[in-house]
């Protein structure tokens, strides 16, 4: 009971509020304004020039505040000095030499300012910045300074008339609100001039190539599994408003190279669990993006070969027979262990390429070919400091026969199924068998079915049209008996997956199955023939679209949709990664 | 809406969690409370921007008329009451863009709330409780001034609510002492500045109360 009370009390405290601690934005105009003070840049100005006045209000001695924008202005002698610009009411212009008393009034409180208008005449006008180089697309405020006959110097930015000799390269504003503001248009040069009382000052402006102002770094995979990759893209924002792809131009770096490394071109490789900041740099401008690596750290590698069982760490192989190798990684985040296929992420090697070679053509594929009779060959898969080696015992027995399996299959048009072929070898005293599927030459005798003859597709039979076909495999001068393939046409009614929603854990591989349901109430598993897609690779990815269709690995917390397409039918699964 | 949801959740939780009753008073009761409160720094807003008002702690008093639910009733174990409370906090200072200024005047709140409290009884002589109340409040800004200059005044009737928790100590079968905490808040009342401009403030009050309830 008491626990329940404390629970309620804590909820109550959480629901209750604290006081406001924001920053006030309102001026205190409740305190009466008691006096004002007028200040100006120049107490004395030359005739035909102007100066801006500022009014500072004193509120009952408690505080002061700039209230220029609230003042109304008057001059006691408008032939000497006058407020001529309605858009800049606090700027007073000297008309003829003499003295004028200027008055500002705010809320009934007034103050005066004695302005002297001299008879000094302009001698030179200087425009700054001098001979500037400005990148295309940028705007820069220019200033004009006048030196007068009495050697006084006065800012004439407001009073001068501004012009550009080549407005196609750069323009300069002569509007009251933006006098002297230069906007660069195109690469080249233009002379910017300020004219006051027929005296001209100028500077040569060089408009240079657009300057890089910022870099936006993006990736489609902000979270990736360790030992996988992510591609980053850099978009530059230039001073002329263009935003080209500068991925190839920037220098890429990772703040934590133990978590991930990144190479030129923006290709990152995730090494261990953690978070790193990926930076793209060019000309002193940096752009960053975060990369989170999940799925634990690699602790071990297990090597295996399709249809071959290692004995005491040794793999017995027949010379020249290609073997499909797989490397399975064991990962740990300290509390949880994960396993997933890392065949494509490890570095494959053999101790002697004259004895055996391994080719990794991409994806999670690796092909081992024993080239010589030996018991000294070794195959190693390495990732960082973790590696695994398996010994090869290679013999060269004589091929006796080849046998296809299964010997008959039924297919629906548009589906496929794998066939395998095993060779029986003899060394004179004993016989042995080995899968020779990937070494064999496959053929079909009719157009009803075709059979793959390259890479992983070797031996995979596809139903192309209704009818039957005989599939044979040939290797080493031996030809198998035919496998009979019967292909029928059925009307696909629906596609079903083995789950509608699924909760996948980070780093673990989950296999989905797609089943085609036909109008004659038959069904067939079509996982291998289905096109699998996933919409959020930062949440979950396909393990390998070629080698392991329908297999998904959770990457990071979130929800993603797995889409399966077959024969014009689409089915989806919502995958939640907690 | 968020506040209303919070109130509903807080109202339901204690009542649902109450256990079986010990011997206790059931039926009508009256009570009186006195205590101290702290009014949190309030944000004031008008069409010129925001400012803050800080207040001095103050005393407050309440009177309640309620009903102790009988043990085993379907609503749970607890009580329902009508509570009138008066709070009056003096403005200490106000903060504008120019900084802090001495403030004066009072923010006076008269509230009438319907409270529901769940009581957590066991063999102890004292029983903790928690609950919520909703109702209306009349909030009056009385002669608010900044450094002696008129700032604003006015009154508004607004929706009000409170969260409460405390401990009941049974003195006799029908008399109990109540030591409790209340968080009281309301929708923002609107007042009038010295120049006629409207301004709103928020209102959040924490209070500690000591009361006596007598059952019949």
Which residues in chain B have Cβ-Cβ distances shorter than 8 Å to A69?
A: none
Whether the predicted pLDDT of B209 surpasses 70: yes
Q: Which H or E run includes A518?
A: strand A514-518
Which residues in chain B have Cβ-Cβ distances shorter than 8 Å to A31?
A: 101, 146-147, 149
Contact assignment for A26 to B122 by CB distance below 8 Å: no
Read off the pLDDT of each residue in A349-377 and give the average, rounded to a whole number.
92
The least confident of A211-225, A303-317, A412-426 is A303-317
- Residue ranges and CATH numbers for the domains of chain A are 35-118 (2.60.40.1080), 122-208 (2.60.40.1080), 212-294 (2.60.40.1080), 297-395 (2.60.40.1080), 398-488 (2.60.40.10), 492-577 (2.60.40.1080)
Q: How far is B138 from chain A (nearest CA, A)?
A: 20
Q: What is the pLDDT of residue A247?
A: 97
Whether the predicted pLDDT of B13 surpasses 50: no
Residue of chain A minimizing CA distance to B151: A30
Beta bridge partners of A20: none
Read off the pLDDT of each residue in A68-78 and give the average, rounded to a whole number.
95
CA gap B33, B85 in Å, rounded: 9
CA gap A510, A339 in Å, rounded: 11
Whether the predicted pLDDT of B2 surpasses 60: no
Specify the CATH number of the domain B2-215.
2.40.160.20
Q: What is the pLDDT of residue A371?
A: 94
- Cα-atom radius of gyration of chain B, to the nearest Å? 19
Q: How confident is the model at residue B14 (pLDDT cuts 50, 70, 90)?
A: very low
Q: How confident is the model at residue A5 (pLDDT cuts 50, 70, 90)?
A: low
Tens of pLDDT, residues A521-568: 999 899 989 999 999 988 999 887 567 788 898 999 999 999 999 999
β-pairing, A514-518 vs B149-170, is: unpaired
For B:41-80, CB contacts with A below 8 A are 41-44, 46, 48-52, 54
pLDDT higher at B9 or A26: A26
Nearest Cα neighbor of B151 from A26, A66, A56 is A26
Contact yes or no for A8/B181 (Cβ under 8 A): no
Structure tokens at A524: 């067939």
The partner residue sitting opposite B204, judged by closest CB among A8, A19, A27, is A19
A69 lies within 8 A of chain B by CB: no
Whether the predicted pLDDT of B23 surpasses 60: no
Give me the residue spans of the domains in chain B: 2-215
Written as one string, the DSSP assignment of chain B is -HHHHHHHHHHHHHHHH-----S---EEEEEEEEEEEEEPPEEEEETTEEEEEEE--EEEEEEEEEEEPPTT-TT-SEEEEEEEEEEEEEEEEEEETTEEEEEEEEEEEEEEEEEEEEE--SSSSEEEEEEEEEEEEEEEEEEEEETTEEEEEEEEEEEEEEEEEEEEEESSSSEEEEEEEEEEEESPPEEEETTS-EEEE-EEEEEEEEEEEEE-
Beta bridge partners of A472: A443
Structure tokens at A115: 């302005």
Q: What is the residue-averaged pLDDT of chain A?
A: 92
| Helical H segments across A78-191, by residue range | none
Q: How far is B155 from chain A (nearest CA, A)?
A: 20
CA gap A372, A396 in Å, rounded: 8
Tens of pLDDT, residues A107-155: 999 999 999 999 999 999 999 999 999 999 999 999 999 999 999 999 9
CA gap B213, B81 in Å, rounded: 11
CA gap B189, B157 in Å, rounded: 7
B16 lies within 8 A of chain A by CB: no
Collapsing DSSP to helix, strand or coil, A529 comes out as: helix
A-B CB pairs within 8 A amount to: 121
Q: How far is B172 from chain A (nearest CA, A)?
A: 22
- Cα-atom radius of gyration of chain A, to the nearest Å? 41
Q: What is the pLDDT of residue A349?
A: 95
CA gap A207, A203 in Å, rounded: 13
CA gap B41, B207 in Å, rounded: 14
Whether the predicted pLDDT of B21 surpasses 50: no
Q: How confident is the model at residue A17 (pLDDT cuts 50, 70, 90)?
A: low
Contact assignment for A30 to B194 by CB distance below 8 Å: yes
Nearest Cα neighbor of B91 from B142, B34, B50, B135 is B142
The partner residue sitting opposite B165, judged by closest CB among A12, A17, A18, is A12
Instruction: Name the burial class of residue B132, with classes exposed (0-12), middle (13-18) and buried (19+) by CB atoms within 10 angstroms of its CB.
Output: buried
φ, ψ dihedrals at A114, nearest 5°: -90, 115
Read off the pLDDT of each residue in B106-111 and give the average, rounded to a whole number.
96
Contact yes or no for B120/A5 (Cβ under 8 A): yes
Contact assignment for B40 to A17 by CB distance below 8 Å: yes
Structure tokens at B19: 């256990």
Structure tokens at A472: 């044979």
Which residues in chain B have Cβ-Cβ distances shorter than 8 Å to A15?
A: 6, 10, 163, 183
Beta bridge partners of A225: A294
The least confident of A70-74, A497-501, B86-90 is A497-501
Strands (E), A283-405: 285-294, 297-305, 314-318, 323-332, 337-341, 347-350, 356-359, 367-370, 374-383, 386-395, 398-405
Q: How confident is the model at residue A12 (pLDDT cuts 50, 70, 90)?
A: low
Residue of chain A minimizing CA distance to B163: A12
Nearest Cα neighbor of B144 from B184, B78, B181, B91 is B91
pLDDT higher at A97 or A305: A97
- Which residue in B24, B96, B141, B200 has the most chain A C-beta atoms within 10 A of its own C-beta, making it the best mutation to test that interface? B96
CA gap A218, A214 in Å, rounded: 13
Q: How far is A70 from chain B (nearest CA, A)?
A: 15
Contact yes or no for A232/A247 (Cβ under 8 A): yes
Read off the pLDDT of each residue in B53-57 and give the average, rounded to a whole number.
96
Q: How confident is the model at residue A506 (pLDDT cuts 50, 70, 90)?
A: confident
- What is the DSSP code (8-state) at residue A245? B
B8 lies within 8 A of chain A by CB: no
Contact assignment for A2 to B120 by CB distance below 8 Å: yes
Contact assignment for A24 to B40 by CB distance below 8 Å: no
For B98, half-sphere exposure in the C-beta direction (CA atoms, 13 angstrom radius) is 17
Contact assignment for B97 to A25 by CB distance below 8 Å: yes
Beta bridge partners of B126: B169
ipTM surpassing 0.95, yes or no?
A: no
What are the b/e assignments for A160-180, b being 16+ CB within 10 Å?
bebbbebeebbbbbbeeeebb
Tens of pLDDT, residues A333-345: 888 888 888 998 9
Beta bridge partners of A306: none
Which residues in chain B have Cβ-Cβ distances shorter than 8 Å to A66?
A: none
Residue of chain B minimizing CA distance to A15: B6
Whether the predicted pLDDT of A8 surpasses 60: no
Beta carbons within 10 angstroms of residue A446's beta carbon = 15
The least confident of A47-56, A130-139, A536-545, B161-170 is A536-545
Q: Which H or E run includes A252?
A: strand A251-254
Q: What is the pLDDT of residue A339?
A: 87
Q: How confident is the model at residue B22 (pLDDT cuts 50, 70, 90)?
A: very low
Q: What is the residue-averaged pLDDT of chain B?
A: 88
Q: What is the pLDDT of residue B20?
A: 39
Nearest Cα neighbor of A196 from A91, A51, A47, A86 is A47
Q: Strands of A523-525's sheet, edge to edge?
A: A492-497, A514-518, A523-525
Tens of pLDDT, residues A420-459: 999 999 988 888 888 999 999 999 999 999 999 988 889 9
Dihedral through CA A251, CA A254, CA A255, CA A256, nearest 10? -160
Q: What is the pLDDT of residue A141?
A: 97
CA gap B6, B4 in Å, rounded: 5
Written as one string, the DSSP assignment of A19-72 is -------S---SSPP-EEEEEES-SEEETT-EEEEEEEEEETTTEEEE-GGG-E
Tens of pLDDT, residues A183-205: 999 999 999 999 999 999 999 99
Q: How confident is the model at residue A397 (pLDDT cuts 50, 70, 90)?
A: very high
Contact assignment for B185 to A17 by CB distance below 8 Å: yes
Contact yes or no for B35/B209 (Cβ under 8 A): yes
């Amino acid at each position: 009971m008491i626990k329940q009370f404390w629970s309620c009390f804590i909820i109550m405290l959480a629901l209750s509020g604290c006081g406001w601690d924001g920053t006030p934005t309102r001026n205190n105009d409740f305190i009466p304004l008691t006096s004002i003070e007028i200040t100006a840049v120049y107490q004395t100005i030359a005739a035909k020039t102007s100066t801006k006045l500022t009014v500072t209000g004193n509120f009952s001695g408690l505080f002061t505040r700039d209230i220029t924008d609230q003042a109304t202005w008057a001059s006691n002698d408008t032939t000497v000095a006058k407020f001529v610009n309605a858009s800049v009411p606090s700027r007073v212009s000297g008309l003829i030499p003499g003295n004028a008393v200027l008055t500002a009034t705010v809320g009934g409180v007034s103050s005066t300012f004695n302005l002297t208008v001299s008879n000094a005449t302009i001698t030179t006008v200087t425009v700054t910045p001098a001979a500037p180089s400005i990148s295309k697309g940028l705007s820069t405020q220019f200033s004009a300074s006048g030196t007068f006959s009495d050697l006084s110097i006065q800012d004439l930015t407001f009073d001068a008339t501004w012009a550009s000799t080549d407005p196609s390269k750069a323009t300069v504003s002569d509007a009251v609100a933006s006098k002297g503001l230069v906007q660069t248009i195109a690469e080249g040069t233009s002379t910017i001039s300020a004219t006051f009382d027929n005296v001209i000052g100028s500077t040569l402006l060089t408009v240079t190539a657009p300057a890089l102002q910022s870099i936006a770094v993006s990736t489609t995979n902000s979270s990736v599994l360790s030992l996988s990759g992510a591609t980053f893209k850099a978009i530059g924002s230039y001073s002329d408003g263009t935003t080209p792809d500068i991925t190839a131009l920037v220098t890429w770096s990772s703040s934590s190279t133990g978590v991930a490394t990144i190479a030129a071109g923006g290709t990152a490789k995730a090494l261990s669990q953690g978070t790193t900041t990926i930076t793209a740099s060019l000309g002193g401008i940096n752009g960053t993006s975060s990369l989170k690596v999940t799925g634990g750290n690699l602790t071990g590698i297990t090597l295996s070969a399709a249809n071959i069982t290692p004995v005491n760490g040794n793999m017995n192989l027949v010379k020249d027979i290609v073997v499909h190798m797989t490397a399975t990684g064991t990962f740990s985040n300290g509390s949880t262990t994960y396993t997933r296929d890392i065949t494509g992420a490890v570095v494959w090697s053999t101790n002697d390429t004259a004895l055996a070679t391994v080719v990794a053509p991409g994806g999670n594929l690796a092909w081992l070919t024993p080239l010589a009779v030996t018991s000294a060959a070794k195959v190693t898969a390495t990732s960082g400091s973790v590696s695994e080696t398996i010994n090869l015992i290679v013999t060269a027995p004589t091929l006796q026969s080849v046998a296809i399996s299964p010997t008959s299959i039924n297919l629906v048009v548009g589906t496929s199924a794998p066939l395998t072929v095993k060779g029986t070898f003899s060394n004179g005293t004993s016989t042995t068998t080995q899968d020779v599927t990937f070494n064999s030459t496959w053929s079909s005798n009719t157009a009803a079915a075709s059979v793959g003859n390259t890479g992983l597709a070797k031996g995979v039979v596809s139903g192309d049209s209704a009818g039957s076909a005989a599939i044979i495999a040939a290797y080493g001068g031996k030809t198998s008996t035919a496998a009979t393939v019967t292909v029928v046409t059925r009307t696909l009614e629906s596609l079903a997956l083995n789950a509608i929603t699924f909760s996948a854990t980070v780093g673990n591989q989950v296999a989905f199955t797609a089943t085609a349901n036909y109008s004659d109430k038959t069904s067939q598993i079509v996982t291998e023939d289905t096109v699998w897609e996933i919409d959020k690779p930062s949440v979950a990815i396909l393990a390998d679209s070629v080698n392991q269709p329908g297999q998904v690995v959770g990457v990071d917390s979130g929800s993603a949709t797995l889409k399966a397409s077959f024969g014009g039918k689409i089915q989806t699964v919502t995958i939640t990664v907690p | 809406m968020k506040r209303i949801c919070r109130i509903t959740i807080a109202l339901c939780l204690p009542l649902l969690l109450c256990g079986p009753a010990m011997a206790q008073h059931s039926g009508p009761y009256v009570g009186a409370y006195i205590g101290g409160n702290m009014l949190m720094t309030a944000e004031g807003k008008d069409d010129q921007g925001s400012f803050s008002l800080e207040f001095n702690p103050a005393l407050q008093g309440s009177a309640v008329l309620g009903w102790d639910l009988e043990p085993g009733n379907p609503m749970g174990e607890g009580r329902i009451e009508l509570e009138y409370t008066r709070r009056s906090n003096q403005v200490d200072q106000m903060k504008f863009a120019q900084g802090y200024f001495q403030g004066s005047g009072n923010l006076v709140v008269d509230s009438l709330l319907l409270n529901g409290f769940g009581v957590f009884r066991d063999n102890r002589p004292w029983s903790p409780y928690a609950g919520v109340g909703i109702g209306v409040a009349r909030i009056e800004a009385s002669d608010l001034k900044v450094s002696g200059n008129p700032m604003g005044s006015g009154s508004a009737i607004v929706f009000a609510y409170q969260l409460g928790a405390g401990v009941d100590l049974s003195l006799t079968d029908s008399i109990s002492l109540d030591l409790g905490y209340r968080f009281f808040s309301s929708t923002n009342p609107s007042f009038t500045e010295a120049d006629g401009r409207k301004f709103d403030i928020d209102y959040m009050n924490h209070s500690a109360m000591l009361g006596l309830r007598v059952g019949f």
